[in-house]
Structure 1
Amino acid sequence: MKVKKFLCILMALAVMFAPIKLVYAETEEIKVFYVSDGKELAEAINEINNGDDAEYVIELLNDIPVEQRVHDNHNSLLHFEKGTTTIYGNGFTLTSSFNSDIVLFASDSAVVNLGSANEPEKSKLFFNDTDSKSTHCNLMHIDGNAIVNMYAGVVFQNNSQIGRFGGAISVGELDSECNAVLNMYGGEIRNCKDKYLGYGGAVVVGLNSTFNMFDGIIENNESYYGGGVCNVGTFNMYGGVIQNNTAQKVADDIYSEGNINIAVTANATNGFGNLASTGKQIQGWFEDGNNDNVTRWDVNNYCVEVTAEQASKADVVALKAAHSAKVTVTFDTNEGIWNDTSGNFIENAPTIYSQNLDPNSKADTPVSPTKTGYTFGGWFDEKDVLFDFGSEVTADVKLYAKWLKNMEPLNAIPTINASDKTLTVGDTFNPLEGVTASDKEDGDITKDVEVLSSDVDTTKAGTYTVTYKVTDSKGASSTKTIKVTVKGKDTPVVPIEPEKPNNPDTNKPENTESVETGDKTNLGLYTSLFVMSGLGIAIIAVLKKKKVLENR
């Protein structure tokens, strides 16, 4: 046990103090190389070329000035001959220190992925000159049956080449056939020049080779023929942007004598910006030397637009992403809805339309746009001046829709429907029973009625109050107070029994039919008065008779 423990300690110390350098990590299917300098990169490519025709990954851990050739007999630094290799730049740069060497060369059956679609951050990789004043071969060459796939984040830039075709990338050869393929799914090719041989400032496509452009941007490159792309093989433009390139002789952006398929219209909707020389928005493809007189595009003298379909059918194509000499009136609905369907206006964006006019002509008045909650107030220029559609347009103008906010109707106060109630002591009282509420805007809002106060006590007779409150969705509220009367319960009338004499006459027969009630003393009084009245009358009658007899 002591020996094992001692060995464990030794191993731990070895791990702690030994210099760690990870060259590659291997999984069941893919070998990954992590490289920090040109020597490690060259060794990794040599192992790939001498290994199985399998999948590999190379990840850069630093900016790498490439100073060592993979093959001494080739004027290329990083030469892939087989396998499928994905290179992740991790934001670092590959540069060449040899004026006559290609930085990356793919030949034979090699497949090289510059980045990947699902790893945009890791894919960032820059191919660059060591010194912007020096000149080199192009940055990448594809030959044989090799395929290179280029993804977003990859940038070829700042190269001025000598000795080969293409300022940045050459696909195949101009004087011999091969089946090389470049698929551009994203990325950028910019600020490169081929002024030595003069074919393709960014990309040249050789005989029987193919360049498929799906996305990305090619701009600010320079050459003699095709400042952006020069093609004698097959060029398919399914997407992306080619703009603001320069050719000394023919075709600032695209020159083709081979098979060409242009499926992209050059305008703002497809990502094209302003033309550098004029500052105006690019509107389409225009002839740039592909005519009998080799007349170049000129905004004031020669503006012949070529549709994408027309360009795809031509044997020789020289194109420039540009605009016409016409003036443009642009309409910005300012978040409103465009309603004009006349076909007189071009959609630049869902809320921005334009109309191209001959100078000194009048713009059409579009159907008024709409915006919920607002009234359209007219088209105003950038100085907030109402545009006069009766005036002639002499220069480009941008108009903005003005919106006037509508007055919102006053919010109606909700109504509570409740009436006074009468209860009896002991009844159950639910203050919300039978109570409803309604609102002009919200409709039935009975569920929102609340009892604000109530002093009803059904155990005691009395008069009480209940106050209700309801509030609508916009905050308007109302209250209502009702009266609740609690009555005492009704009691039945009980007959009063007559008083019985203290010494009843037992010899007098009982009068069972008598219902006489009252005071015995009062009855005797009335009887005495009656007797005395009768005696008085009798005495008066006797005295009168005696007087009569005396008078005789």
Structure 2
Amino acid sequence: MSSDRVLDINLLGNPEAAQTTLATGLPDSVKPVIDAQDVTLYVGDEYDPKQGVTATDDRDGDVTNLIQVTANDVDTSQVGTYHVTYSVKDTAGNIATKTITVAVAERDWANYKVGNVTDIKLIMPGATTIEGQTDYDFNSQIPEGTKIYAEAVRTNDGFNRSIGLAEIKYGTGTFSITVYKNVKLAEGDKIGVYLSAINGVEAKSGPTFMTVVSANGPVSE
């Protein structure tokens, strides 16, 4: 609640007069409020302690740009529980502090995300390859022993029929799927490509990127 006291006076004798508001300033003793939440990271993640952290003050408004990180022992190179402390001061000199917990966990198969196909090059009628891009690069933190495959399916009648499979090029994230010899791609064919991750006997699949075979230009959804 603001420490300002607001006094409203209705001007008497003149019903047409506007309401006058008088604000009488009292000493500001209200601290700003820091909005910062506990964070869970995985080994190897990058961490910016100020990302998503904001602060507001009842008189100064948004004071996010005044936030200082006064303590930070986070080490994302190893598993552990760490802490970050923030401080912010308003123009009246009121200081607020807040400490959050940052947990760094081992990245394992249980919390591993398969990833996404981010783009597919234009597919023309009669094409024998399907090429595209995924979000896999050198920062993807693929668990050791995992293989990532891009699989193309034709879904003209609502059923997914595999028309090609290829391992993605980890590091660049690119893939080039050679269409099976018995498959003839025609204009209007609906093609979906998704990623599969295989680690030993465990497997996961990601979301499907849809496009169509087009003789005129790229069409995707």
- State the TM-score, normalizing by the size of structure 2: 0.38
Question: Which has the larger Rg?
Answer: 1
Q: Which has the higher contact order (CA 8 A, sep 6+)?
A: 2
If each structure's helix is expressed as a fraction of its own residues, which one has the higher value?
Answer: 1
